[in-house]
């Protein structure tokens, strides 16, 4: 089981701040992202190139491995001015 959290605009678009999923065949964050994208509709927001992610509260890339018990966060890049 992994816990997935969505932040900022992703949380607003998806209408959910987090969920728990069975890891099953998902071995990387990219596998997880593809699984979520397959839901279609608003979930396509996670296809953005500027998607940022963290595993267990540490920034990482989509190639990062997943193991049971991980906490994953997806969030857009922060811009300011």
Q: What is the pLDDT of residues 9-34, one digit of tens each?
A: 999 999 999 999 998 889 999 999 99
Task: Delineate the domains of the chain, giving CATH numbers in brackets.
Answer: 2-76 (3.10.20.30)
Residue 9 has which token pair? Answer: 């605009």
CB of 40 closer than 8 Å to CB of 19: no
DSSP 8-state class, residue 48: -
pTM score, two decimals?
A: 0.91
């Amino acid at each position: 089981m992994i816990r997935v959290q969505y932040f900022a605009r992703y949380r607003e678009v998806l209408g959910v701040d987090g969920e728990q999923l069975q890891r099953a065949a998902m071995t990387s964050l990219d596998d997880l992202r593809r699984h979520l994208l397959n839901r279609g509709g608003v979930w396509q927001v996670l296809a953005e190139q500027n998607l940022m992610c963290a595993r267990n509260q540490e920034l990482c890339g989509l190639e990062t491995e997943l193991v049971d018990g991980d906490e994953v966060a997806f969030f857009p890049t922060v811009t300011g001015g």
